[in-house]
Amino acid sequence: MVLAVAILSACSNGQQTDKQATADIQQKPVKKPNILFILADDHRWDLIGKYHPIVKTPNIDKLADQGTVFKNAFVTTPICASSRVSILTGLTERTHDFTFAQPATGAEESALTYPSVLKQNGYQSAFVGKYEIKLSGEDSERFDYFKPLLQAKTEQYKGKELPQTYYIAELAKDFIHQSKSSDKPWVMAVNFWNPHAHDRDEELQFHYPEEFESWYQDVEIPPAKLSSDADFAALPEPLKQSAARIRWQFRFGSPELYQKMTKRHYRAISSVDKAVGMIYQSLEAQGMADNTVIIYTGDNGYAMNERQLAGKWYGWEEDLRVPLIIYDPRNRQAGGKEVEKLALNIDITPTILDYAGVDAPKSYQGQSLLPLVGQANDVNWRDEFFFEHMYQPKRFLIPPMAGVRTEQWKYVDFYKHDHVQLYNLVEDPQEQFNLANHPDYAHQQQQMAEKLAGYIRKYEAARSDEVKARGQYPNSQ
């Protein structure tokens, strides 16, 4: 009997201890993660070493191997200014209505950018690198640490000349170091200019640290898909005369030039990868690596001689698709998980807020990616999305377009130039055969056109009163 009582007493004490421990854990505040968002300029989805036979990106590969890779990530606008505002606001271009040569993004949209929201919820916020956008209000309302940069080959840092890519990394490291003295968690956007071309430097175009000069030197770059004279000839006149063809002349206009410029582009990507490694080493040195979520992506895709074009702007996969990797060191089960569902640049904003434990504003048009990062396989998710490009510069031709992509079909309307594209992505993943205006696909084309019209109505209706009051929408249909 005494033994039984002792056992019961021991069990009872153990249960009390367990309950007390649980209560202590529940009462102890959970430390919020730091969030590092890294954006490369013109980095398309397939130019990552993990998935490419030539490009070397060991640091980005490590994030992919230990994190979650979104294999079908896209931007809703394939041009830097609009895409970057979409990332900050969680809104499509059709709603925020910002691109080059437009007024600043409205006050409401600007106030609900993720740095503003997190700053109001106890986070330090920082921005380093390419900005080149206009938001309403003061930058100090959004950022505690703000280092915007115009494109340059080199910068001065502590009396030493550095390639700009490394300079951006050093500024990011400075913020990480100084934030160690604060009890607040932080969110930082690091926006690299590379691998974007230096458009005015027609001879070299892509720049990188000297140490990469020998990289890819002895490699033969395979031809781009659909890069024959016949593929170019099949394009409509507005695309043949567009900026994408003009820039093609001095980027990929001969086999020799294609080899030279493609290798330079790859070197610029590899330099971004090294800078990513530099920043990560700083996180480790400051003891922050185990509690910092890292998100890596590009602001749009990039045509590398496909259809004998260069640049982005249009609706083909090479224009719209970007790499997207989320590495959460606290999630040790991810380990290189690959997600096939459609992810968008407008999902990044609610995802960042979700990691911070902050509710996303109802105006956001993207969805948090955290359910897909987790182990759930039955997440209710989108199976199509809207994309567009409304920029109409005066100095050269870039035909605006709007479209819808489902898992099987893609419809693109170049509405100012009477040209429509319809592709069956399952049977024709290279988008070689335009089925628009083919009688056998008239019903499918009509369905996709109606989808597109519905998205345009939806996203225009979501504009704030300030944006609606502008009343002109020079870039709209």
- pLDDT tens readout for residues 282-330: 999 999 999 999 999 999 999 999 999 999 999 999 999 999 999 999 9
Give the lowest-confidence range in 196-210, 331-345, 392-406.
331-345
- pLDDT (0 to 100) of residue 22: 39
C-beta separation of 374 from 67 below 8 A: no
Q: Is the pLDDT of residue 21 over 60?
A: no
pLDDT-above-70 percentage for the chain:
92
Terminal CA-CA length for the chain: 87
- pLDDT tens readout for residues 356-413: 999 999 999 999 999 999 866 678 999 999 999 999 999 999 999 999 999 999 999 9
- pLDDT (0 to 100) of residue 374: 81
Three-point CA angle 391, 393, 399, nearest 5°: 60
Structure tokens at 313: 């702007």
- pLDDT (0 to 100) of residue 334: 78
- pLDDT (0 to 100) of residue 16: 45
Q: What is the DSSP string of 44-101?
A: -TT-STTT-SS---HHHHHHHHHSEEEEEEE-SSSSHHHHHHHHHHS--HHHH---TT
User: What is the Cα–Cα distance from 262 to 301, expressed in whole angstroms?
Assistant: 15
pLDDT-above-90 percentage for the chain:
88
Verify cis geometry, omega within 30 degrees of 0, for the bond prior to 53.
no
The pLDDT of 170-178, averaged and rounded, is 98
- pLDDT (0 to 100) of residue 29: 55
- pLDDT (0 to 100) of residue 6: 37
- pLDDT (0 to 100) of residue 4: 40
- pLDDT (0 to 100) of residue 376: 61
Measuring CA to CA, which residue among 264, 242, 263, 261 is closest to residue 251? 261
Sign for the CA dihedral angle at 114, 117, 121, 127 comes to positive
Host H or E run for residue 283: helix 255-285
Q: Is the pLDDT of residue 47 over 60?
A: yes
Domains and CATH numbers, the chain: 34-374 (3.40.720.10)
Residues 6+ apart with CB under 8 A from 457: none
pTM here? 0.93
- pLDDT tens readout for residues 206-261: 999 999 999 999 999 999 999 999 999 999 999 999 999 999 999 999 999 999 99
Q: In what order do the strands lie in the sheet with 324-327?
A: 145-149, 124-130, 186-191, 34-40, 292-298, 324-327, 68-74, 337-344
C-beta separation of 105 from 89 below 8 A: yes
- pLDDT tens readout for residues 82-126: 999 999 999 999 999 999 989 999 999 999 999 999 999 999 999
Q: Is the pLDDT of residue 173 over 90?
A: yes
- pLDDT (0 to 100) of residue 470: 85
- pLDDT tens readout for residues 49-90: 999 999 999 999 999 999 999 999 999 999 999 999 999 999
- pLDDT (0 to 100) of residue 12: 42
Measuring CA to CA, which residue among 268, 133, 261, 125 is closest to residue 203? 261
- pLDDT (0 to 100) of residue 378: 77
User: What is the Cα–Cα distance from 293 to 307, expressed in whole angstroms?
Assistant: 38
Q: Is the pLDDT of residue 26 over 60?
A: no
Task: Indicate the SS3 state at residue 384.
Answer: strand
> pLDDT confidence of 477, banded at 50, 70, 90?
low
